Amino acid sequence: MKPGRQNVILEIIAEQDIETQHQLLKALEARGVKSTQATLSRDIKDMHLIKEQGPGGNYRYVASSKPETDDFDLRLKKIFRESVISYDIAQNLLIIKTLPGLAPAACSAIDSMEIRGLVGSLAGDDTAFLAMRDNESAHSLYHEIEMLF
């Protein structure tokens, strides 16, 4: 339901100049999509919608052109700077050594980043295992981590 609603929101803001959440709610209702203001507010935040000035001088909702990878990079860098001691690769597994007690936090943050090719993670006290879909995905993430250091 959420992805469908969010796709309709993107269609609406691409076709119309929507200035307020109230206008967006009415446009959703006109397309048969029921929502609340609170849900719509969360959707706007999740989708990184922003307001920009339109040609007529009014502000309208648009999809942010800021790449989501910026957020990914910032979060990953912070986690690694603060907790990772070392990392290595073993076929399709990435093994990350952290300061004591920080492996679960590192895994939780990594899991929330929706990394392409990540199947799952397992955290001990100071060691995290990242299971990647294949060796290529593991090497790709390994090289991204390498660039952070």
- For residue 76, what are the contacts with CB-CB under 8 A and spacing of at least 6? 109, 110, 113, 144, 145, 148
- Closest alpha carbon to 50 in 73, 19, 94: 19
Q: Whole domain around residue 7: which residue ranges?
A: 2-63
Please state the pTM of the whole predicted model.
0.50
Main-chain dihedrals φ then ψ at residue 105, nearest 5 degrees: -65, -40
| Half-sphere CA count of 149, side-chain side, radius 13 A | 12
Instruction: Determine the 3-state secondary structure of 17 from DSSP.
Output: coil
**Is 99 in the same domain as 137?**
yes
**What pLDDT is stored for residue 95 in this prediction?**
96
**Residue pLDDT, tens place only, 48-79:** 888 888 778 888 999 876 555 556 667 666 77
pLDDT of residue 130: 95
State the total domains in the chain: 2
CATH number of the domain that residue 92 is part of: 3.30.1360.40
Residue 68: the pLDDT is 54
**Which is more confidently placed, 141 or 78?**
141
pLDDT at 109 over 90: no
CATH number at residue 17: 1.10.10.10
Domain termination residue (choose one: 31, 63, 95): 63
